[in-house]
């Protein structure tokens, strides 16, 4: 992890988010890396990778990019569930990465060099079938994660399934959830 600025003047970066619905098999991770390279995406937030590992954060070289994951978890019947991460292009995004951490099992935060620092947050909400307590706990934790980010350029890479049960994030009312998945508040 170096310290080259992620955002530089007029240079655009291409950012996305994807529910990968499992990339446990290595060929699926390799395919994700190839798709990143071919599409020109430099930062991709991923949800539901279902990779369980013992370390809090794990890095994997995918050739032209790096996969960074927070571990998925096991359900009561032993199935892998959830997991968030990012795929970062080696030339731009990974060289700008200064820190990455797991806020909770559903939220990962990455900081990139710049003035100000650029922060990306990847999060995966409980599905609409989750009970209200789980959804409320998630949004309370997400609010706490947002509150910990200092005044920076911040981008949230969200997959929000339980949004209608909780109309605010970080104390801010959510005013619009367009098809792109971005949230205005």
**What are the 10-residue block averages of pLDDT along the chain, 185 residues in total?**
63 86 94 92 94 96 96 95 95 93 95 85 87 89 87 64 49 44 39
Work out the number of other CB atoms within 10 angstroms of the CB of residue 2.
9
pLDDT at res. 171: 54
Residues 6+ away with beta carbon under 8 Å from 112: 5, 6, 7, 93, 96, 97, 98, 118, 119, 120
How far is it, in rounded angstroms, from Cα 117 to Cα 91?
Answer: 18
SS (H, E, C) the chain: CCCCCCCCCCCCCCEEEEECCCCCCHHHHHHHHHHHHHHCCCEEEEECCCCCCCCCEEEEECCCEEEEEECCEECCCCCEECCEEEEEEHHHHHHHEEEEEEEECCEEEEEECCCCCEEEEEEECCCCCCCHHHHHHHHHHHHHHHHHCCCCEEEEEEECCCHHHCCEECCEECCECCCCCCCEC
The pTM assigned to this predicted structure is 0.81
What does the alpha-carbon distance between residue 35 and residue 105 come to, in Å, rounded to a whole number? Answer: 26
Burial class (CB in 10 A: 0-12, 13-18, 19+), 105: middle
pLDDT of residue 70: 97
């Amino acid at each position: 992890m170096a310290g080259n600025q992620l955002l530089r003047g007029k240079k655009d970066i291409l950012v996305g988010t994807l529910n990968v619905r499992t990339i446990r098999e290595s060929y699926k991770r390799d395919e994700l890396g190839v798709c990143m390279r071919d599409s020109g995406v430099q930062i991709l937030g991923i949800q539901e990778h279902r990779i369980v590992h013992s370390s809090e954060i794990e890095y994997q070289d995918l050739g032209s990019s790096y996969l960074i994951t927070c571990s998925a978890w096991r359900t009561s019947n032993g199935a892998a569930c959830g997991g968030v991460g990012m795929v970062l292009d080696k030339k731009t995004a990974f060289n700008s990465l200064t820190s990455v951490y797991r806020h909770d099992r559903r939220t990962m935060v990455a900081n990139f060099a710049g003035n100000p620092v650029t922060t990306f947050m990847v999060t995966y909400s409980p599905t609409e079938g989750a009970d209200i307590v789980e959804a409320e706990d998630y949004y309370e934790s997400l609010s706490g994660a947002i509150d910990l980010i200092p005044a920076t350029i911040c981008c949230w890479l969200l997959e929000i399934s339980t949004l209608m049960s909780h109309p605010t994030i970080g104390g801010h009312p959510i005013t619009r959830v367009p098809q792109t998945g971005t949230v205005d508040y």
